[in-house]
Amino acid sequence: MTEERAAVLAAVAARIDALATDGSARVAVDGVTAAGKSTFADELVEYVRRPVVRASVDDFHRPSGERYARGHGPESYYHDAFDFGSLRSLLLGPLAPTDAALVVDGVFLLRPELAGLWDLSVFLAVDRTIALERAIARDAARLGGEGPARLRYASRYVPGETLYLETATPESRADVVIENTDPDRPRLLT
């Protein structure tokens, strides 16, 4: 790990540790697909000095029939892919950690209906072209090859995330914005 990355992780962890230590802290790590959210969140927990529970919005996918009820387009991805009601229950319900930081990574975490749930929110900003190439390389085998992966990203994921970026403006909502196009050299923007 580079010194730059370690410094950014330590700075964000210090923000988490500064939150009330007598209870839980809910932390969102948001960004577009392949921005590095899961990796960042996994590494972040190593720097936090309090107990941490890790979760991902990917643990809250709706069943296929619900995810694609409106089709396979961007609106369906943005509105139907994840069960945010169950996520809200995890964050606020009886199973929510009461003495630990809960660090959740995933897309769409700073959408308006989740506003006010996070004690600290992080947005990983990336060059979307580079993130797209990372995503295709990562997902090509799972999606049937490079061609089908490109088609899926072009028709569903990229426009769905563009809808999110334009309507929810997550970068402006985040407490911390990190430029993460080069994960070895992330930069704190705010």
pLDDT, tens digit, for every residue of 127-155? 999 999 999 999 999 999 999 999 999 99
Region 166-190: what's the mean pLDDT?
96
Q: State both tokens at 38.
A: 């899961």
Counting every residue, how long is the chain? 190
Domains along the sequence of the chain with CATH: 3-180 (3.40.50.300)
- Quick one: the chain helix, strand, coil %, rounded to 5? 45, 15, 35
What DSSP element (H or E) covers 105? strand 101-105
- Spatial contact of 121 and 31, defined as CB atoms under 8 Å apart: no
Q: pTM of this prediction?
A: 0.95
What percent of the chain is predicted at pLDDT more than 70? 98
